[in-house]
Amino acid sequence: MDYVTQAASRSASSAMTEARVRDVMQKVAANLSAFVVAGLITRERAIKWITDLTYLQIEECLDFFELQLGGRSYGLRYTVRSDGSVQMNSASGGLDIYGIPFGTAVQLYADLRMETPQSVYDYLAQHGWGFDGRKMEAPESEHRSFSKEGYAITRARVGTWP
């Protein structure tokens, strides 16, 4: 099951367009493909996650999302930046997915903005999301940004990786 909670924040102006979201999400999809190749998630699950996360960004409801590994021990946090503050566009990759023990549980957590409309919650419920998830409480390191014309997602490692 995928999980979601709410947070209060919103930028005054947004560089979000559907085309920019889809462009940036290609880098996230490449990261998820590595998890598929390593046998940690299925291809179908990766596609579902990309579809749902793209929808949440287009609706401008998503603050960040996490791939939580081994429960909430460690993982990746992807933070949405739609205010034009991030211009760097790094290559995807740079992760040692094969260092993650085979069989490690991988969960998706999404942190939504407080003003998220009910229609978004209805969509998430129809797509199998739960509403009792929690973010990882661990230090971030090794940041990488994926951006397109002022719209960006910044990826950080969270916690201690094996």
Q: What band does 158 get if pLDDT is binned at 50, 70 and 90?
A: very high
Give yes or no for residue 12 having a pLDDT over 70.
no
Give yes or no for residue 33 having a pLDDT over 80.
yes
For 3, the token pair is: 């999980």
* Chain Cα centroid distance, residue 103: 21
Give the start-to-end residue ranges of the domains of the chain. 2-158
84-141 tens-digit pLDDT:
889 889 999 899 898 999 999 999 999 999 999 999 999 999 999 999 899 999 999 9
Q: What is the CATH number of domain 2-158?
A: 3.30.900
From residue 66, alpha-carbon distances to 12, 13, 32, 71, 76 in Å are 24, 24, 12, 12, 5
Which 3 state secondary structure label does DSSP give 138? coil
pLDDT on residue 97: 92
Work out the average pLDDT over 7-23.
77
40-84 tens-digit pLDDT:
999 999 999 999 999 999 999 999 999 999 988 899 999 999 998
Going by the DSSP 8-state scheme, the letter that residue 53 receives in this structure is: H
| 50 CB-side CA count, 13 A | 21
Q: What band does 9 get if pLDDT is binned at 50, 70 and 90?
A: very low
Which 3 state secondary structure label does DSSP give 55? helix
- Closest CA relative to residue 4, chosen from 78, 63, 90: 63
